[in-house]
Amino acid sequence: MTAVRAAPEPAASPGRRRRRGSRAVALLAVGLATSLAAACGANLPPVGGGAGETTIRTVNPYGDDLSAEGEPKRGGTLVMAMDRAIVGFDPTVRNTNPAALAVYDSLLKLNHEGKPEPYMAKSMTSPDRGLTWVLELREGVEFSDGTPLDADAVIVNVQRHIDAAASPGHRFAEPIASMTAVDPLTVKFTLKEPFGPFPVAFASGFAYGGLGIIVSPAALQQYGDDVAQHPVGAGPFVLTDWARDSHMNLRRNENYWQDACRTWTGWSSGRCPTPRPATPRSRTVTST
């Protein structure tokens, strides 16, 4: 039996004694900073202004009783502000783009336990303990341009990650030895070696280069690399216009595969207004 044991600590050299001294100084500095912070906090006026006891009331940001909030209304516009510039909508180009979550859906998604589960795909299974993976797609899923989501669309998109070494999804696609369209709705992936967590690659988000973010092959053929400015996905929204560093507008995808999610008619993203400077040492509470 092999056991892992901690190695005996060697005698301290002058250099190590100096490093220990440096750590002691650092710990002392942290302690002083903590004491100063506590002292500053002690000088703040008490919360509230009355003679009675003051408590902070917790407010449910999502509303109260969901059953009393009525039925969702069809239509409307949601306006959102983002805190960073958007590079584009190409999944093979590293960038953070919240709007991509509205344009694209994923083949798989992570549940609350962090495990991949079907989404646009119906299933993903391995018959041989991780060397071969079979991805089955849902029937009837279309991109916003009417192109069907099929096995060839998946293969074309995954191949883009394989070919683009700078893609954030390249590391996910690198274990793939071959891809085969078994039928219009089934893709077989053969890996270079068994890899159990492979489905996670198809559940990762846009910013991480998830292999499950699929662009319409018709759009890829029409725009090539410029698809970053002309995205066509199978998500709930369609990009209608985009002025860089200003705004973008998206409308509801009439071909969306999930009927129950067709609620919003528009999603508009604009720049944040210039914030007012915060009042020093200000606190907001609710007194009872």
Burial state string for 215-230 with b = 16 or more CB within 10 A and e = fewer than 16: bbbebbeebeeebbeb
Q: What is the pLDDT of residue 78?
A: 81
pLDDT over 80 (residue 1): no
pLDDT over 70 (residue 49): no
Arithmetic mean of pLDDT, 36-46 = 46
Please, where are the H alpha helices in the chain? Answer: 14-42, 100-103, 151-163, 170-173, 217-223
Q: Residues 6 or more apart from 115 whose CB is under 8 A from it? A: none
Q: What is the pLDDT of residue 189?
A: 98
Residue 165, classed as helix, strand or coil, is coil
Domains and CATH numbers, the chain: 73-271 (3.40.190.10)
Arithmetic mean of pLDDT, 280-284 = 29
Provide the terminal-to-terminal Cα distance of the chain, rounded to the nearest Å: 64
d(CA 215, CA 218): 9
Q: What is the pLDDT of residue 97?
A: 86
Arithmetic mean of pLDDT, 169-177 = 94
Q: Can you spell out the DSSP letters for 186-240?
A: EEEEEESS--TTGGGGGTS-GGGT-TTB---HHHHHHHGGGGGTS---SSSEEEE
Q: Range with the lowest mean pLDDT among 12-21, 23-32, 85-94, 227-236?
A: 23-32
pTM of this structure = 0.68
Tell which wins on pLDDT, 140 or 244.
140
Render pLDDT for 64-111 as a digit per residue (tens, 0 to 9): 666 666 777 777 888 888 777 788 999 999 888 888 989 999 999 999
Tell me the average pLDDT of the chain. 77
Percent of the chain with pLDDT over 70: 65
Render pLDDT for 106-136 as a digit per residue (tens, 0 to 9): 999 999 899 999 999 999 999 999 999 999 9
Q: Are β-strands 132-137 and 186-191 bridged in parallel, bridged antiparallel, or unpaired?
A: antiparallel
Residue type at position 216: S
Select, from the ranges 14-23, 79-88, 154-163, the one with the highest average predicted confidence (pLDDT). Answer: 154-163
Q: Residues 6 or more apart from 264 whose CB is under 8 A from it? A: 75, 76, 77, 78, 236, 237, 252
DSSP bridge partners of 134: 125, 188
Q: Range with the lowest mean pLDDT among 32-41, 145-154, 272-281?
A: 272-281
Q: What share of the chain is helix, strand, coil (3-state, %, to 5)?
A: 25, 20, 55
